[in-house]
Amino acid sequence: MAFNVFAFLQLAVFVAIVFNVNLHSVSAESNGQSSAPSSVKSLKVDFCDTNCTEKDGVWGECTGNCFCVHEGDSKEGRCMHSKN
């Protein structure tokens, strides 16, 4: 009798885990964009040949019509320019 109760509890836990994993995978797939981005709001950019760095609170200049882009508190960035 004890074996049957233990087997039943194992089966119940297994079903709960499978249900939870399935529920998570379905919700993870639904986090995408619901519609295509508008071309009016789109920005097209290219990387330039140079990088930029921060020294003493001042970012190094990018050449030409490029601008510096960096992530968070990083002291290194990439130079980019926007396409029209």
Strands of 67-69's sheet, edge to edge?
58-59, 44-55, 76-83, 67-69
Higher pLDDT among residues 35 and 53, named by residue: 53
| Residue 27, pLDDT score | 56
- Whole-model pTM? 0.46
- Confidence check: pLDDT of 32 > 80: no
How is the chain split into domains, by residue range? 1-30, 44-83
Reported as a pLDDT band with limits 50, 70 and 90, residue 34 is low
- Confidence check: pLDDT of 46 > 70: yes
- Confidence check: pLDDT of 57 > 70: yes
